[in-house]
C-alpha cells in the first residue's frame, strides 16, 4: 500500500470526509504541521493513529474542532478558556480542559483532560465541516521524528502505513501549536510553546501569571510534545550559541553540517554542508524552514550537525524554535 496524495478539491474533501466517518485515517494539512486525522469519537479509529505512528499509548492526542460550540460538547469550559478561544481561534492555540465522557479514553491516554484546537487552515476547516465530527490529529509522522510540513514529508514517513494524504501546500506556521492548560485560570500553564506567547495569553486571560510547565517527570503528560526528546532527526544534533557557532565554523570535523539561524555573510569551506533558517532574522521565516532543514540533514547523511539557537531578537517564535531544537538535540531515549 502506498499513500495517494490528493488535491483538496471539493469532491476529494467529500470523499475524505466519508473515509473519516467510516473510521479511516487521512493525513491533513493545518497551519502548523500536517496531522494524521481520525474521528475523535471513534476509539477504534483513534487506535489506528497510534498503530500507524507507532506512538506510545500514554501520549494523548489533540482534538480539532470547527468552532467553540463544537468544543463545548467535548470539555468543561470556563470564562478564561472562552476568552482565549475567542481571541486566538481559529489559530495555533490548543487548550487543555476537563474532558466530557463523550471523549474516548484512548484520545486522552486515560486521563481526565482533553486538548482542543480550532485550526485556521482552510482545507482542514472545510474537512471538519464536511466530516461533521471532531478530528483527533497528531503530527503525521513516525513517533518522535521530525514533524511534516508538506504532503511529501508525510509520504516519506507514513506513505506505506496510510492510504490518503490531502495536499494543502506548505504549512504557513511550520511548528506545532502553543498548548495551554486552562483548567485553573489563575494558574495557567504553557505545556508547549508555539507562535502564541505567554505575554499574549496573559493580556487576554487577565488572571495572573502564565507559567511555563517544567519537564515531564513520572506523571503522565497532559498534552503531546512534552517528551524530553521529540521532533528529532536521525542526524545527531548539538545546539550551540552564536559565539560557539563561529568557532565551530572555522574548524569542524569532516561529515559535519552547520545550521546557522541567519544566513552568514561568509562561509569557510565547502558550502554544501552549511545551512540557515532565515535570511532576515525573522522567527516566522525560520520556523517555516526548521523541519525542512532537519530532514535535509538526514537526506544528506551527515555524521553530526551543529545548530544555532534562535536569538531573542527573532520575535515571538524564538521560544518555540528553541524548544523544538532542545528536544531534537536531546540524547534522551524516545
Tens-place pLDDT, residues 46-96: 999 999 999 999 999 999 999 999 999 999 999 999 999 999 999 999 999
pLDDT of residue 334: 44
Nearest to 93 by CA among 172, 192, 168: 192
CA 143 to chain CA mean position, Å = 12
pLDDT of residue 333: 56
Q: Check pLDDT > 80 for residue 214.
A: no
Q: What is the pLDDT of residues 235-288, one digit of tens each?
A: 999 999 988 988 887 777 888 999 999 998 766 554 578 999 999 889 999 999
d(CA 103, CA 50) in angstroms, rounded, equals 16
Architecture of domain 237-329: 3-Layer(aba) Sandwich (3.40)
By mean pLDDT, which of 114-123, 155-164, 175-184, 205-214 is the weakest? 205-214
Listing from the earlier edge strand, what are the strands of the sheet with 135-136? 4-6, 164-166, 26-28, 35-39, 135-136, 62-64, 113-117, 93-98, 178-181, 188-192, 210-212
If pLDDT is split at 50, 70 and 90, which confidence band does 225 have?
low
Q: What is the DSSP string of 211-235?
A: EEP----SSPPSSSS-SSS-SB-SS
The grid coordinates of residue 59 equal 501520549
CA 40 to chain CA mean position, Å = 18
Pick the CATH number of 4-212 from 3.40.50.2300, 3.90.870.10, 2.60.40.1260, 2.40.50.1020: 3.90.870.10
**Is the bond preceding residue 193 a cis peptide, omega within 30 degrees?**
no
Instruction: Report CA Rg, the chain.
Output: 20
pLDDT of residue 186: 85
Average pLDDT over residues 195-199: 94
d(CA 184, CA 193) in angstroms, rounded, equals 18
pLDDT of residue 168: 98
Q: Report CA-CA distances (Å) from 319 to 65, 265, 274, 306.
A: 26, 25, 23, 19
Cβ atoms 181, 213 nearer than 8 A: yes
d(CA 72, CA 75) in angstroms, rounded, equals 6
pLDDT of residue 155: 97
Burial of 155 (0-12, 13-18, 19+ CB in 10 A): buried
Domain with CATH 3.90.870.10 in the chain: 4-212
By mean pLDDT, which of 99-113, 121-135, 181-195 is the weakest? 181-195
Q: How many CB atoms lie within 10 A of CB 314?
A: 24
Domain with CATH 3.40.50 in the chain: 237-329
φ, ψ of residue 259 in degrees (nearest 5):
-120, 105
Amino acid at each position: 500500500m502506498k499513500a495517494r496524495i490528493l488535491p483538496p478539491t471539493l469532491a476529494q474533501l467529500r470523499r475524505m470526509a466519508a473515509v473519516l466517518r467510516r473510521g479511516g485515517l487521512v493525513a491533513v494539512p493545518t497551519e502548523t504541521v500536517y496531522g494524521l486525522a481520525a474521528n475523535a469519537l471513534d476509539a477504534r479509529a483513534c487506535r489506528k493513529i497510534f498503530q500507524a505512528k507507532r506512538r506510545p499509548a500514554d501520549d494523548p492526542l489533540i482534538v480539532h474542532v470547527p468552532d467553540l460550540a463544537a468544543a463545548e460538547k467535548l470539555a468543561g469550559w470556563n470564562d478564561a478558556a472562552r476568552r482565549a478561544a475567542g481571541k486566538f481561534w481559529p489559530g495555533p492555540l490548543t487548550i487543555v480542559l476537563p474532558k466530557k465522557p463523550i471523549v474516548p479514553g484512548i484520545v486522552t491516554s486515560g486521563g481526565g483532560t482533553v486538548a482542543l484546537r480550532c485550526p485556521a487552515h482552510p482545507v482542514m476547516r472545510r474537512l471538519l465541516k464536511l466530516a461533521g465530527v471532531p478530528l483527533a490529529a497528531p503530527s503525521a509522522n513516525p513517533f518522535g521524528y521530525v514533524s511534516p510540513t508538506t504532503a511529501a514529508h508525510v509520504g516519506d514517513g507514513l506513505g506505506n502505513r496510510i492510504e490518503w494524504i490531502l495536499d494543502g501546500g506548505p504549512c504557513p506556521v511550520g511548528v506545532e501549536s502553543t498548548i495551554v492548560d486552562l483548567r485553573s485560570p489563575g494558574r495557567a500553564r504553557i505545556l508547549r510553546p508555539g507562535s502564541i506567547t505567554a505575554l499574549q495569553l496573559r493580556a487576554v486571560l487577565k488572571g495572573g501569571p502564565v507559567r511555563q510547565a517544567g519537564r515531564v517527570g513520572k506523571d503522565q503528560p497532559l498534552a503531546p510534545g512534552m517528551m524530553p526528546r521529540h521532533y528529532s532527526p536521525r542526524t545527531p544534533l548539538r545546539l550551540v550559541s552564536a559565539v560557539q557557532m563561529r568557532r565551530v565554523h572555522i574548524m569542524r570535523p569532516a561529515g559535519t553540517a552547520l545550521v546557522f539561524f541567519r544566513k552568514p555573510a561568509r562561509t569557510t569551506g565547502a558550502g554544501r554542508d552549511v545551512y540557515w533558517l532565515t535570511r532576515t532574522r525573522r522567527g516566522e521565516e525560520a520556523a517555516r524552514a526548521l523541519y525542512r532543514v532537519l530532514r535535509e540533514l538526514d537526506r544528506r547523511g551527515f555524521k553530526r550537525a551543529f545548530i544555532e539557537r534562535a536569538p531573542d531578537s527573532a520575535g515571538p517564535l524564538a521560544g518555540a524554535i528553541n524548544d523544538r531544537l532542545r528536544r531534537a538535540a536531546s540524547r534522551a531515549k524516545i
